[in-house]
Structure 1
Amino acid sequence: MPRDPISRPLAALAARLPQRLRTGYWTRLVPALAALAALTHAPSFVRPVWSPDEGYLATQARMLADGGVLYDTVVDRKPPLLPWLYEAAFWVFGSLSLWPLRVLAIVAHLATALLLASVARGRWGDRAGAAAGALYLLVSIGLSPEDTQAATFEVFMLPAMVAAFRYAERRRWLAAGVATAVCALTKQTGGAVLLPVLWMLLQDARHRGVRRPAALGRVLAGFALPVALVAVILTKPGGFLFWVVTGSGDYASFDGSVLLMAGRALGNAAILAAAFLGLAVPLLRRRRALRRAAPGASAPPRRGAAGGSVSDLWVFLASAVVAVCTGFHFFGHYYLQLMPPLVLLGVGAASASAVRWRPVLVYSAVAATAFWGLALAWPGHRLDRSAKVATAVAEQTGPGDTMLVWGMHPEMYWLADRRPATRYLTAGFLTNYSGGKGDRQVGEAYSVQDAWKTFDQELSRNLPEIVVDDSGTSPYSPVRIPRIERLLDAHYQMVGLTGDTVIYRLVRR
């Protein structure tokens, strides 16, 4: 027994803890996974901002803190949970840094890993559970660093997504519906997890004679009530319906460059495949073995899997594929939604095939190390330019001045610490330009409904002190958007140039 007066009570308290709590499975696994989550995402702290989405959320949070109203004077095509989380973090820690959100993102990854470990342990045993948690954290950085190290929608959506699957697996249908709602209120495509939830409900009813209408009612009630609470009470119903559901038709369309979309889709899929190769090998071997086996020759499924097979995992993966393809943008961070079902399928295949874990873990660790090093060395020229422009704007303006960024990089508002002159933080709302889908259907005529009318009203009350033209040679450059060209010609003069980004200042007459 230690003689130190401080350590003696602690040692006595530890001795009174139950044996399973001191040496149990989760007591040993949680700290190990927490350390791995912190290690794999440590590079997230080396940059002030990783992506325009982070910049958009940070700017939104400041606008909300200044009295803005979500889906009215503060708008986006995303659900409200993550903007509110950013706002809360800024309220507690201040808005000068995103480090609190990066910490919360690590917590979200850890929660996802633990939920995957719980699913895998229930199906294939303790070792598979630990492997699922560790492998998820290793492959969670297996895309471009801008997609995996940023604190954005998909990262915070994943815990609720896996929780919905886990609750359905345990036949806790009301909780599965609530988790699905939380997922969809973080990002709309998170609602795709409702497909495997309903599949497991159908299989459970078929095999166990469960009353299907009652269980279905609990799922739908669990999903509908939180969404109704947010839409009707916590936000404006009309604004929520338009911005979250009906107002994204032009944005989420197939109109655009097919070659560009196909190239992005295949490129990000190839990067993800490289990160998952350690798990892909046992999965392919397992599929090949099942094809060769006679019908009914495979081993019976373990208890705990709703429906008694891994079909629910394949439906889980199919729902994620549908979510990634929705909108036809195929950005890298969309592919994060594929990671949980892929990890479960790979771990299940390795467990069922008696594959040695060491090669799988070694490859995944080596791949993660490569992506980790890539994150530290990532050039980020575009974001570096945004920082330079923001610094120049801050030097030429005062805290009470407003600015307009005509482009797709709203992080400039947050980096410059200047208020936006309009609720439309990117030119996409006013031109239908959507992140590289080409120049088809881009222009004033394709704006969000009544956006130009609202924009003109906002600027008529107070012209911004600074306009940053970040459009370059894009389809929405001022020479192609007459209203912006007239605005610049009538009221502004050029005062700075960084790359092809032009800074204009208001001319006082």
Structure 2
Amino acid sequence: MLAEPPPPAALPAPAGPEPGPPATPRVTTPVTDRPGPAAVPRPRARADRPANPAAAYWRRLLPALALLALVTRLPSFRHPLWSPDEGYLAVQARMLAAGGVLYDTVVDRKPPLLPWLYEATFALLGDSTLSGVRALAVLAHLVTAALLAATARHRWGDRAGRTAGVLYLLVSVGLNPEDTQAATFEVFILPFTAAAMWCAGKARWGAAGLAVAGALLTKQTGGAVLLPVLWLLGRTPRAPLSLARLAAGLALPLLATALLTTPSGLLFWTVTGSGSYATPTGSELHVLLRALANTALLGLGCAALLPPLLHLARRTAPRGDGDLWLWLASSAVAVLTGFHFFGHYFLQLLPPLVLLATEGLHLLPRDRLPPTLTAAACTCVVFLLWGVLAPRPELAHAQRLADAVRARTAPTDRVLVWGIHPETYWFADRAPASRYLTAGLLTNYSGGRDGPRVGEAYAVAGTWAVLGAELRDRPPALIVDDSRGKPFAPDRLPTLRRFLAHRYEPLPDTVDGAVIYVRTDP
């Protein structure tokens, strides 16, 4: 074995004085410019840069839009009803709740989505008020504003999103209050059309198809948004697959609706049975004047949008807004369809107009935005004051007539109101004696048509035979002639005139010119 090495020799101590007692060692911490890894603080998010900018954006914007939507719709809660369309829907909902069958014993020219919505709201909140439906109309406007804000933000940035949402709500009241404050078909079209364009812009084609179907099932003209959606689809690289998804999203709700109702009845009442309604023949001047009046009102309500729209229209640089111009053009065709030009038809123009004006403002200097918003707000206030202060003579007439009907009938009695104000049934709380709630379906007077094409010969096919059977099988306890000199008066309709002469007699007192007939063979 090898020997272990000897221990190292001790080193000699350095020369110097003899050391004293050992000093206490002094521990010093080295000063460094950098802390160690354990001392590095965790980074904090800056106060002016939130962790989720999109969420913060909507947390600020949505409450403001909700408040503005409520303020611009406050006049809608002032009156129990704003238009005969609301009255028609309210009576339809009661008939459906009582066991009626849509497009059979309950009929209208419109698709079923809104009657079902009224029925559901009445089931939850009662059928004596439209407050629940009016609240849903406020929500519809809020959703529309939010979707337009999302579309504008995606295209032009945060400021454009806020601009589009606010501008839409300000101009959404810029027509006759009867057309903007009522909870009718066009109001509930708007969120579906805005959703269809937003989904198409995000390439969510199945959802876009569902949104188009929702618009179409609310009112036929809502389907006009399909054209700009197809325009956007054609610019995608996988167009055939996208088209299949869009078609599926569109077709499935339509097929389900046809199965829930009667397919033949749905097709007849919403498409093929309205040929005489969709023509201006016989009332051209009347229709033209209405078109000019409502176009002028729309121009006044959207006056603040005109400068940015004109600036955008004059711009010659290449742009990617062809879908918005097509949306505006297809909506204009929807307004023209039927040649009636009611004010609420024009609501369908507002979403594309607002987005195009927002794009124009995006291209203009920033200092053009405050005057535009101020002008839109001032115009909005004018229309809101109109809604609050304007009298409603036809509403007062319908209420007086309903009081007279209620005083002369029992709650279980059925009555026939021969006129164009179905709200009389709702105010009187009496069931209608016929599935035809207005004289329009039986005379083609719908839409105020006052020319020669009014009478039995121009009714929806088969309606007079059905009415005759209804009146013979269960004669109404009371019939109200509310024609008041209009061309659908009973003395111009042989079938109704004979029925009244054989079984009814008029009371001596009238209600604002409306004649009440009571049975002679009770």
Q: Structure 1-normalised TM-score? A: 0.90
Out of 441, 452, 459, the residue aligned to residue 440 of structure 1 is: 452
SS at match of 2:302: helix
Correspondent of 1:125 among 134, 157, 165: 157
Name 1:316's counterpart in structure 2. 327
Which residues in structure 2 correspond to 1:78-477 (within 5 Å)?
A: 78-202=110-234, 204-205=235-236, 210-231=237-258, 233-288=259-314, 290-291=315-316, 298=317, 309-355=320-366, 356-477=368-489
State the distance in 2 between where 1:21 and 1:354 align.
25
**Structure 2 equivalent of residue 501 of structure 1:** 514
Whole-Å Cα distance in 2 between the matches of residues 223 and 379 of structure 1? 43
Give the match's secondary structure for 1:221.
helix
Aligned partner letter, 1:352: L
Stretch moving more, 359-368 or 219-228: 219-228
Over 3 Å counting, the alpha-carbon distance change for 1:453 and 1:23 in structure 2 is: closer
Distance in 1 (alpha carbons) for counterparts of 2:206 and 2:311? 37
8 A Cα contact 1:405 1:467, kept in partner? yes
1:14 maps to which residue? none
Deviates most, 152-161 or 434-443 = 434-443
How far did 1:23 drift?
7.4
Structure 2 unaligned blocks of 5 or more: 1-49
Measure, in 2, the Cα distance between the counterparts of 1:261 and 1:228.
Answer: 35
Aligned to 1:12: none
Work out the CA distance in 1 between the residues paired with 2:123 and 2:68: 29
**Higher radius of gyration, 1 or 2:** 2
* Shift of residue 195, structure 1, vs aligned partner: 0.5
2:454 and 2:342 map into 1 onto residues whose CA distance is: 19
Please say if residues 286 and 353 of structure 1, whose CA atoms lie closer than 8 Å, have aligned partners that are also in contact.
no
For 1:439, the aligned partner's letter is G
**Which residue of 2 is the match for residue 9 of structure 1?**
none
Q: What is the deviation of 1:19?
A: 5.3
Q: Deviations over 1:436-470 (max 9, x none)?
A: 23323211112111111111111111111111111
* Aligned equivalents of 2:390, 2:179: Cα separation in 1: 12
Letter aligned with residue 248 of structure 2: A
Amino acid at match of 2:251: A
**SS at structure 1 position matched to 2:182:** coil
For the Cα contact (< 8 Å) 2:312–2:359, is it kept in 1?
A: no
Cα separation, 1, equivalents of 2:448 and 2:270: 21
Once residues 339 and 131 of structure 2 are traced to their aligned partners in structure 1, the CA distance between those partners, rounded to angstroms, is: 31
Deviation at 1:353, TM superposition (A): 1.9
Q: CA deviation at 1:344?
A: 0.5
Q: Distance in 2 between matches of 1:376 and 1:400?
A: 36
- Mapped partners of 2:494, 2:164: distance in 1: 55
Separation in 2 of the partners of 1:169 and 1:256?
A: 43
The one-letter amino acid of 2:434's match is T
Residue matched to 1:26:
58
1:59-78 counterparts in 2 under 5 A?
59-78=91-110
Report deviation, 1:284. Answer: 0.9
**SS of 1:68's equivalent?**
coil
CA contact (8 A) 2:280 2:287 kept: no
**Structure 2 CA distance for aligned equivalents of residues 437 and 483 of structure 1:** 21
Tell me how far 1:485 sits from its aligned partner: 1.5
C-alpha distance in structure 2 between counterparts of 1:67 and 1:21, whole Å: 51
State the distance in 2 between where 1:168 and 1:249 align: 33
AA aligned to 1:280 is L
Report Cα offsets for 1:402-461 as digits up to 9, x if no partner.
111111110101111100000000111111112223323211112111111111111111
2: CA distance between counterparts of 1:113 and 1:227?
26
Task: Please report how far the alpha carbon of residue 486 of structure 1 lies from its aligned counterpart in structure 2 after TM superposition.
Answer: 1.7
Greater percentage in helix: 1
Q: Which moved more, 1:185-194 or 1:448-457?
A: 448-457
Structure 1 equivalent of residue 26 of structure 2: none
Superposed CA offset, 1:304-358 (max 9, x none): xxxxx01110000001001000000000000000000000011111111225211
3-state SS of paired residue (1:24): helix
Residue by residue over 1:269-309, the C-alpha shift from the partner in whole angstroms, topping out at 9 and shown as x without a partner, is: 11011111111112112323x25xxxxxx3x75xxxxxxx0
Q: Spell out, residue by residue over 1:108-154, the C-alpha distance to the aligned partner (whole angstroms, 9 max, x if none).
A: 00000000000111111111111111111111111001000000001
Q: Is the 8 A contact 2:65 2:165 kept in 1?
A: yes
Structure 1 residues 425-434 or 361-370, which shifts more?
A: 425-434
Alpha-carbon RMSD across the aligned residues, in angstroms, is 1.5
SS at match of 1:424: coil
Q: Deviations over 1:29-51 (max 9, x none)?
A: 11110000000001101101000
Shift of the alpha carbon at 1:493?
2.4
Q: What residue is the counterpart of 2:5 in the other structure? A: none
Q: Within 2, Cα distance between the matches of 1:423 and 1:64?
A: 11
Shift in Å, 1:491: 2.0
**In 1, distance between residues paired with 2:382 and 2:399?**
27
Q: Which runs of 5+ in 1 are unaligned?
A: 1-17, 292-297, 302-308
Distance in 1 (alpha carbons) for counterparts of 2:347 and 2:392: 20
Q: Which residue of 2 aligns with 1:491?
A: 503
Distance 2:428 2:399 in 1: 8
Post-superposition, which runs of at least 4 consecutive aligned residues in structure 1 deviate over 6 A? none
Q: Separation in 2 of the partners of 1:43 and 1:473?
A: 32
Q: Give the letter for the 1:105 counterpart.
A: A
1:22 is displaced (CA, Å) by 11
TM-score, normalised via structure 2 length: 0.88
Q: CA deviation at 1:507?
A: 2.3
Task: Check 1:444–1:136 CA distance in 2 against 1; reply closer, same or farther (3 A cut).
Answer: same
Whether contact under 8 Å (1:160, 1:179) holds in the other structure is: yes
Percent identity, aligned pairs only, is: 54
